[in-house]
Amino acid sequence: MAKSSVLGYPRIGAEREWKKALEAFWAGKLDQSEFHEQLKEIRLNHLRKQMDKGIDLIPVNDFSYYDHVLDTATMFGIVPKRFSYEGGVVPLSLYYGIARGTKDATASEMTKWFNTNYHYIVPELDGAEPAITENKPLNAYREAKELLGIEGKPVILGPLSFLKLSKGYAATETDSWLERLLPLYVQILRELAHEGVQWVQIDEPILVTKVSAEDVRRLKSIYDSFASAVPELNIMLQTYFESVENYSDIVALPVKGIGLDFVHGLSGNLSAVRQSGFPADKVLGAGVIDGRGIWKASLQEKLALLKELTGIVSSDRLIIQSSCSLLHVPVTVQNEKKLLPELKGALAFADEKLDEIVLLTKADVSGETSIAVELVQYESDLQALKQSGERNRNDIQQSVAAISAQYPARHLPFTERHLVQRDKWQLPLFPTTTIGSFPQSAEVRKARQLWRKGEWSNERYAKFIEEQIDIWVKLQEEIGLDVLVHGEFERTDMVEFFGEKLAGFAFTQFGWVQSYGSRCVKPPIIFGDVAFEEAMTVEETKYAQSKTERPVKGMLTGPITIMNWSFVREDITREQIAYQLAYALRQEVEALEKAGIGMIQVDEPAVREGLPLKEQDQANYLQWAVKAFRMTTSTVQDTTQIHTHMCYCEFHDMIDSIEAMDADVISIETSRSHGELIHSFELNTYELGIGLGVYDIHSPRVPRVEEMSSMIDRALRVLDPQLFWINPDCGLKTRGFEETVDSLRNMVEATRIAREKHSLTVK
């Protein structure tokens, strides 16, 4: 009969216990021994929960002290040269130094984990001498077995995916690097086999992207080596996030099981299984429960899918599991007390997904009648949401359909707009600005909490926000910034803030998910038709502008980012959701302009992460994503300057789409990737205004003037000085007061040096 499993469980805890422990340790409030004990207890509680729920194959080594890719790199002693690592087990101070930076060394690059909002630390292979520092999967297996009696399933990031997600080597060195890594993987697996491990999950998510013939050859060599070295070990080659490429080659590999995503990769994977069958000597890991979404599964539909699969693969060769790690969803719905009943009834977070997997497995083992009550309840819950008035607003649907029928465009092209904007604003060479937010101190957070609890009146809270704006407007002027912002002190999160003011959104109390490191976000839920209700940002922006003669930017989050950083409904397309958001945000842009705000920034940091993994789907996504942005911004006057911002993604393959957004100025990250994006502009022209982030705001270090000057000089070799802006690479909400001020002073000084250097050469 079928067994149940998941591919990973959220690290953070139902009340973010993991995050709190990390930040207490970093702040010196926990010593290392206490820190290890707290994380151990969190880890064991997660394992107990899965065991109590009835999961058969429980993953171990999916827990991390920061990031699982960083764990893999440090397990193999792959540490960037600038950290002066001398071998051996990587100490916590160095581990966190790689992730967060130190006083003397910049952090490693951080980028999106495929098309999710999780960020991983990019391994740097240049100069590394790989060697096993510790067998982390073995340690995790032993802990689960010895303390809880769990026969765990160790999870390891596979060698091909690890290498493809790394940097610091030439393509011609791929095979030589595999030759260096393969013996280390073999040793890890041999030690697991010797310990008596039954199943090992080796994640190769890279296999759902375009795989070359050379990579197929490499894949066969890798898994031939594993089969030869540890023939007794059951290896589950696990893929997720989409359907696999080269299905026939992959299912022919000498492994015991193949894990396929039958949610986000349903069409491609099901088609492949139907057409080519599935090997009789392998187990199918059927990822039928969505590891990324928050909606209850239709158990009837899942049972129909499983029935088809068991017509191809016998039940005793089937593992019913999540489509990917549950890392990407909140922990439990049970703690949510304020959601509408019809919404809460239709939700399933990590713990509820465990229940769904167990129910489906029970139905396979004991028949559908064994879960008859649950089948009726699930369908009733899903129908209640479908019939909700929030999902059936004809006025919004008709307005959006009419507006989206036309392709939006500004009145004048950029070359002409730039001239009238230059005459209006009279900005100096290389204008300086920030991305939008300033540090949210404990005082700011406390004030918001008191207001939310009703202990502060609206008037008192508004006065407090104005006082914060006063402080930072004055500071920005003293520092010497050219274009100011109001600081966003009234905002908890750049998506949540807008969602709270738009119809069609709902918010959880404990629906946190990990974004990067200890940074957790609480994505809104878009469950109904999105609608503008009243101005959202005008009051604070207008107040800030009244306090200075310098321009103040209005600050909005764009439609694609709001969509990609929310949990969205599944009954309409993402394109339709994007257009609803764009229509609502357009009304806010128009309200800002009417209030006298002539620079408006519409941030789209999440455009790249929504890019489909399949090349054949990418052009269509980019087309409607660009259209949604232009729907938001195209109705303003020619003199109104539209800014946007993007960060922490690979943008080199979508420069044309970024330009097609037709923003007057884009600010974009380059510091964390050590200026690599600049190379894209060395190969491609970009003729709109652009600000390349000159320092990393996610690292708690004050960058030197010389570092920023070097970044500026390189950028100006390929970008038009007349269109070049200087800014940090992201918002400053999470940084401290002193480091923010010192960093911005250094940035302005680097700008002064650049102006002196280039003023004579720029006409």
- Binding-site positions: 16-19, 112, 117, 435-437, 488, 519-520, 565, 603, 609, 645, 647, 669, 730
For residue 508, CA distances in Å to 334, 521, 561 come to 11, 11, 19
d(CA 606, CA 115): 10
Euclidean distance between the first and final Cα of the chain, in Å?
77
8 A C-beta contact, residue 59 and residue 155: yes
d(CA 75, CA 85): 13
Helix (H) or strand (E) run with residue 202 in it: strand 199-203
Beta strands in 607-673 (DSSP E): 641-646, 665-669
In the residue annotation, 411 being an active-site residue is answered as: no
In the numeric block, the tokens 């002064």 are attached to: 752
8 A C-beta contact, residue 39 and residue 392: no
For the beta carbon of residue 47, count every other beta carbon within 10 angstroms.
22
Beta strands in 467-539 (DSSP E): 502-506, 513-516, 519-521, 525-532
d(CA 182, CA 180): 6
Percentage helix, strand, coil for the chain under 3-state DSSP, each rounded to 5: 50, 15, 40
Residue 706, class by beta-carbon neighbours within 10 Å (0-12 exposed, 13-18 middle, 19+ buried)? Answer: exposed
Q: Which residues are part of a known binding site for L-homocysteine?
A: 435-437, 488, 603
Tokens of 107: 């952090």
For residue 708, CA distances in Å to 54, 294, 643, 711, 745 come to 54, 42, 22, 5, 12
* Active-site annotation holder among 46, 68, 643, 698: 698
d(CA 268, CA 703): 47
d(CA 763, CA 42): 61
For the beta carbon of residue 37, count every other beta carbon within 10 angstroms.
12
Helix (H, G, I), strand (E, B) or coil at 534: coil
Burial 430-454 (b: 16+ CB within 10 A, else e): bbbbbbbbbbbeeebeebbeebeee
| Pairing verdict, β 110-112 and 119-121 | antiparallel
8 A C-beta contact, residue 555 and residue 488: yes
For the beta carbon of residue 77, count every other beta carbon within 10 angstroms.
20
Pairs from 618-621 (Cβ < 8 Å, separation ≥ 24): none
Angle of CA points 461, 467, 470, to nearest 5°: 145
Ramachandran region, residue 350 (left: φ > 0; alpha: ψ -120 to 50; beta: rest): alpha
Q: Which residues are part of a known binding site for 5-methyltetrahydropteroyltri-L-glutamate?
A: 16-19, 112, 117, 519-520, 565, 609
Residues classed as catalytic: 698
